[in-house]
C-alpha cells in the first residue's frame, strides 16, 4: 500500500469515527429533550384552556348569584320573588312591572360586565316572567310557558345545579343566531321554598378558546356536556383523516361547572415534525462535516505526501554535469520546506564554483563601473552649477545666482547626504531652496509660512518627506499659483509623536478624489523590480511607503481636503532626537532595516 493511501485511511478513521459517535449521541439526546418539551407545551396549553374556561364559568355562577344573595337597604331580590312564587296568579301587571324594575339594575350590571350575555330571565311558579334582554340577539317570546319543556323539568330535577343547553336556535327565543343557556332553580336561602327558574342566555363565543389555543392546527379543544353529549365548543369539527390514534395525546378534565368537561387531543406526529427540523439539520450538518472531512483528508494527505513523491522523482531524474534546483515547496515553514531547502542548498554548493568564478566577477565589475560613472556625473553637475552661479554674480544677475545655488544645494542634499536620516532643520532648508526657485519662477505669487516649535528642529526624520508635499501643494493645490497663494508648514510634538503639517489655501479636492487618494495611501507598500524606478517615486504614496517600512504600521500621511478651501496633509512619525554625539537615538534594528 502506498504511503498516500495509508495516510488517507488513518486520517479518515481518526476523524469520522468520533464524529459519528458524537452525532448519534447528540441526536438521541435531542429526541429525548424534544419529547419532554412537547409534553411540557401540551400540558401548559391544556392547563391554560382549563383555567380560562373555569374563569368564564365562574363569571356565569357569579351572575346567577346576584339573584340569590344580592340585596339593598330597602328590598331584597328574594323578597321580590317571594311575592310571585305562589302557584296561583295573584298579581297584577303593575306588580310584575315593579318586579322587573327591581331586577333591572342587576341585569344592566350583568350586561355591562359580560359582552356575551344575551338575556336574563326568571320563570316564577305563578307564571310571571321577569328579566331583560341585551338586544343583541332577539328576546324571549311573549306568553312562553316553559313548564312543559324538557329543559325546565330537568332543571327542577337538578335541584339547584345548573342545566346547560346545547348551542342551537332555541324556539323560545326570537333571535336568528345560535345561543345556549344556563338554567338553575332558585330557592329561598332561609326556607328553601321554590322561587322560580333562572335562565342565563349566552352567545356561544363565551366558551371560545381560540385565544388560548396557541397550536390550533395540532391541538383540538372541545367543551361538551357529559350528561347530554352536546358539544358547546370545538375548534375542529372532526378529526382529520391523517390524525393518527397511536401518535396522539388526549387530556380530559371536568370543569368547575358540572356537567361540563374540557377535552384536548394533540397530534404528536405533526407536533414532532415542527421540532424535528433541528434534528434533520443536525444530521445534515453531520453529513456535510463527513463530506468535508473526506475532502480535507484527501487534500491533507496529498499536501503531505505529494512533496515527498515530487522530491523523489526530482532526485531520480538528475543527469549531466549541472544539477537542477527544485522550485516547489521551498517556502513551506515545516519539515518538508526544510527538506527542500537543504536539497537546494546541496545543489547550489555543487554549482557554486562555476558561478563564483564567472558570473559573480562580471556582476562586481559592472557595479564598480556604474559607481565610478555616477561619481563622475554628479561631480561634473556640481562644478557646472558652481560655474553658473559665479558667472551670474559677475553679471549681477541675482535671480540666476539664487536659482543655481539653490538647485546645487538641492542636488547635493539629495545625492550627497550620507544617511537617509536628517534633522527637521535640514529638511526645512531643503524646502527653502526649492521654494526660492519656485518663487522666482512664479514671480513671488505665493508665499511660504512656517510655525515650527524650536524643540523639534533637531529631531530626526526621514529625508525628502517635506519637499514633495510642498511641491504637491504648489502644483496641485495652488494650481501653479492660479488658485490660492499660501503654503503653510507647522510642526509640533504630541506625546511621543512628531506631527508635521503641510497645508494650502488652494482649490482642494472633490470628495471622490479625496477618497481615492486615502484608499491609495492605505494600500500596503510594494517593491518594483531591481533597478526600475516609478514615475511617482517621490509622490505621496512613496512617502507613505517609506514611512511605514521604516517606522512601522500606524505612522504616515493623513490627508484632509475641502473643495474650494484647500488641502491639509499631516505627517505622523515617532519622535527621534540626536544625542550629544550628533547621532540619532533610533534603534539599531530599525537603522539596519533602512540601510
What's residue 346's pLDDT?
76
- Measured distance CA(42)–CA(31) in Å, rounded: 16
**CA dihedral over 226, 229, 235, 236, signed as positive or negative:** positive
Q: Which residues of 226-332 form beta strands (DSSP E)?
A: 231-234, 248-254, 260-267
**Cα 243 from chain centroid (whole Å):** 41
pLDDT tens digits, 72-109:
544 567 777 777 766 555 556 676 777 777 778 778 88
Burial class (CB in 10 A: 0-12, 13-18, 19+), 421: buried
Burial class (CB in 10 A: 0-12, 13-18, 19+), 427: buried
User: Is residue 242 in a domain?
Assistant: yes
Look at residues 537, 560, 550, 548 and name the one whose alpha carbon lies nearest to residue 468. Answer: 537
User: Is residue 188 in a domain?
Assistant: yes
What's residue 490's pLDDT?
95
Long-range contacts of 172-176 (CB under 8 A, 24+ apart): 172/140, 172/141, 172/144, 172/146, 173/118, 173/119, 173/137, 173/138, 173/139, 173/140, 173/141, 173/201, 174/138, 174/139, 174/140, 174/141, 175/118, 175/137, 175/138, 175/139, 176/137, 176/138
- Measured distance CA(259)–CA(329) in Å, rounded: 87
CATH number of the structural domain spanning residue 561:
3.30.565.10
Last residue of a domain, one of 280, 313, 346: 313
What cell was used for 512?
471622490
Other C-beta atoms closer than 10 Å to the C-beta of 255 total 17
Last residue of a domain, one of 313, 336, 368: 313
Burial class (CB in 10 A: 0-12, 13-18, 19+), 206: buried
Number of domains in the chain: 2
| Paired sense of beta strands 447-452 and 486-494, if any | parallel
- Measured distance CA(244)–CA(251) in Å, rounded: 16
CATH number of the structural domain spanning residue 42:
3.30.450.20
User: Is residue 124 in a domain?
Assistant: yes
User: Is residue 92 in a domain?
Assistant: yes
**Do 145 and 288 fall into the same domain?**
yes
What's residue 106's pLDDT?
79
Residue 209 phi/psi, 5-degree rounding, is: -110, 20
**pLDDT tens-digit profile, the chain (595 residues):** 565 666 767 777 777 788 788 888 887 887 788 778 878 888 899 999 999 999 999 999 888 887 766 455 445 677 777 777 665 555 566 767 777 777 787 788 888 888 999 999 999 888 888 888 988 889 999 889 898 899 999 999 988 899 999 999 999 999 889 999 999 998 877 777 888 899 999 999 999 998 898 888 788 899 999 988 889 998 876 555 555 555 677 889 999 888 999 998 887 777 667 666 777 787 888 888 888 877 877 777 667 776 776 666 666 666 655 566 666 665 666 666 677 767 677 776 766 665 555 454 544 444 444 444 444 445 545 655 666 767 677 677 777 777 777 777 887 777 766 777 899 999 999 999 889 888 888 888 999 999 999 889 999 998 889 999 999 999 899 988 888 899 999 999 998 899 999 999 999 999 999 999 999 888 876 544 333 444 443 478 888 888 887 888 889 999 999 999 999 999 999 987 664 444 444 443 343 333 3
**CA dihedral over 146, 147, 153, 159, signed as positive or negative:** positive
Cell 352567545: give the residue.
203
Tell me the H-state helices in 326-423: 335-350, 352-354, 360-394, 398-416
pLDDT tens digits, 270-323:
766 766 677 778 788 888 888 887 787 777 766 777 677 666 666 666 665 556
User: Is residue 59 in a domain?
Assistant: yes
Cβ-Cβ contacts under 8 Å for 93 (sequence gap 6 or more) = none
Last residue of a domain, one of 313, 339, 372: 313
Cβ-Cβ contacts under 8 Å for 45 (sequence gap 6 or more) = 212, 213, 214, 215, 219, 264, 266
User: Is residue 457 in a domain?
Assistant: yes
Chain length of the chain: 595
Residue 215 in contact with residue 233, Cβ under 8 Å?
A: no
CA Rg value for the chain: 52
pTM flag (> 0.85)? no
User: Is residue 483 in a domain?
Assistant: yes
Dihedral over alpha carbons 472, 477, 479, 485 (to 10 degrees): -110
Q: What is the residue range of 476's domain?
A: 447-526+535-594
**Do 307 and 455 fall into the same domain?**
no
User: Is residue 86 in a domain?
Assistant: yes
What's residue 382's pLDDT?
61
DSSP per residue, 513-546: HHHHHHHHHHSPP----TT---TTTTSHHHHHHH
Amino acid at each position: 500500500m502506498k504511503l498516500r493511501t495509508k495516510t488517507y485511511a488513518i486520517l479518515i478513521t481518526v476523524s469520522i469515527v468520533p464524529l459519528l459517535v458524537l452525532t448519534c449521541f447528540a441526536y438521541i439526546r435531542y429526541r429525548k429533550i424534544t419529547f419532554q418539551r412537547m409534553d411540557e407545551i401540551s400540558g401548559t396549553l391544556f392547563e391554560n384552556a382549563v383555567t380560562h374556561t373555569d374563569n368564564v364559568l365562574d363569571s356565569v355562577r357569579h351572575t346567577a348569584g346576584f339573584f340569590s344573595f344580592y340585596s339593598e337597604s330597602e328590598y331584597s331580590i328574594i323578597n321580590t320573588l317571594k311575592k310571585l312564587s305562589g302557584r296561583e296568579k295573584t298579581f297584577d301587571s303593575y306588580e310584575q312591572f315593579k318586579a322587573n324594575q327591581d331586577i333591572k339594575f342587576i341585569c344592566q350590571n350583568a350586561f355591562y360586565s359580560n359582552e356575551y350575555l344575551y338575556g336574563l330571565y326568571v320563570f316564577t311558579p305563578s307564571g310571571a316572567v321577569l328579566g331583560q334582554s341585551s338586544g343583541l340577539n332577539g328576546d324571549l317570546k311573549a306568553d312562553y310557558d316553559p313548564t312543559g319543556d324538557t329543559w325546565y323539568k330537568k332543571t327542577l330535577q337538578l335541584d339547584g345545579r345548573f342545566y346547560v343547553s346545547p348551542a342551537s336556535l332555541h324556539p323560545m327565543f326570537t333571535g336568528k343566531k345560535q345561543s345556549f343557556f344556563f338554567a338553575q332553580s332558585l330557592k329561598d336561602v332561609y326556607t328553601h321554598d321554590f322561587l322560580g327558574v333562572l335562565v342565563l342566555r349566552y352567545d356561544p363565543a363565551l366558551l371560545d378558546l381560540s385565544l388560548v389555543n396557541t397550536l390550533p392546527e395540532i391541538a383540538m379543544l372541545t367543551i361538551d356536556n357529559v350528561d347530554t353529549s352536546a358539544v358547546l365548543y370545538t375548534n375542529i369539527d372532526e378529526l382529520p383523516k391523517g390524525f393518527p390514534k397511536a401518535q396522539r395525546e388526549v387530556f380530559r378534565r371536568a370543569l368547575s361547572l358540572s356537567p361540563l368537561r374540557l377535552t384536548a387531543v394533540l397530534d404528536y406526529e405533526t407536533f414532532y415534525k415542527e421540532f424535528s427540523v433541528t434534528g434533520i439539520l443536525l444530521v445534515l450538518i453531520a453529513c456535510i462535516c463527513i463530506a468535508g472531512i473526506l475532502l480535507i483528508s484527501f487534500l491533507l494527505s496529498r499536501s503531505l505526501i505529494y512533496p515527498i513523491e515530487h522530491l523523489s522523482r526530482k532526485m531520480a531524474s538528475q543527469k549531466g554535469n549541472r544539477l537542477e534546483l527544485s522550485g516547489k515547496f521551498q517556502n513551506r515553514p515545516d519539515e518538508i520546506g526544510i527538506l527542500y531547502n537543504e536539497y537546494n542548498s546541496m545543489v547550489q554548493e555543487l554549482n557554486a564554483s562555476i558561478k563564483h568564478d564567472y558570473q559573480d566577477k562580471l556582476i562586481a565589475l559592472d557595479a564598480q563601473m556604474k559607481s565610478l560613472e555616477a561619481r563622475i556625473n554628479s561631480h561634473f553637475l556640481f562644478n557646472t552649477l558652481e560655474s553658473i552661479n559665479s558667472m551670474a554674480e559677475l553679471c549681477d544677475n541675482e535671480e540666476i545666482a539664487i536659482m543655481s545655488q539653490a538647485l546645487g544645494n538641492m542636488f547635493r542634499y539629495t545625492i550627497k547626504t550620507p544617511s537617509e536620516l536628517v534633522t527637521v532643520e535640514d529638511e526645512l532648508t531643503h524646502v527653502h531652496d526649492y521654494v526660492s526657485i519656485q518663487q522666482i519662477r512664479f514671480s513671488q505669487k505665493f508665499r511660504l509660512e512656517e510655525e515650527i516649535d524650536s524643540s523639534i528642529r533637531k529631531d530626526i526624520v526621514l529625508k525628502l518627506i517635506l519637499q514633495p508635499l510642498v511641491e504637491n501643494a504648489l502644483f496641485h493645490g495652488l494650481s501653479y499659483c492660479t488658485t490660492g497663494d499660501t503654503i503653510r508648514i507647522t510642526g509640533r510634538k504630541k506625546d511621543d509623536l512628531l506631527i508635521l503639517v503641510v497645508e494650502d489655501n488652494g482649490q482642494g479636492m472633490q470628495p471622490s478624489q479625496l477618497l481615492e487618494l486615502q484608499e491609495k495611501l492605505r494600500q500596503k507598500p510594494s517593491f518594483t523590480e531591481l533597478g526600475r524606478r516609478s514615475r511617482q517615486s517621490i509622490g505621496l504614496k512613496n512617502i507613505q511607503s517609506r514611512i511605514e517600512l521604516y517606522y512601522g504600521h500606524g505612522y504616515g500621511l493623513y490627508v484632509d481636503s475641502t473643495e474650494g478651501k484647500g488641502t491639509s496633509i499631516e505627517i505622523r512619525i515617532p519622535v527621534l532626537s540626536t544625542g550629544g554625539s550628533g547621532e540619532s537615538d533610533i534603534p539599531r534594528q530599525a537603522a539596519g532595516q533602512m540601510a
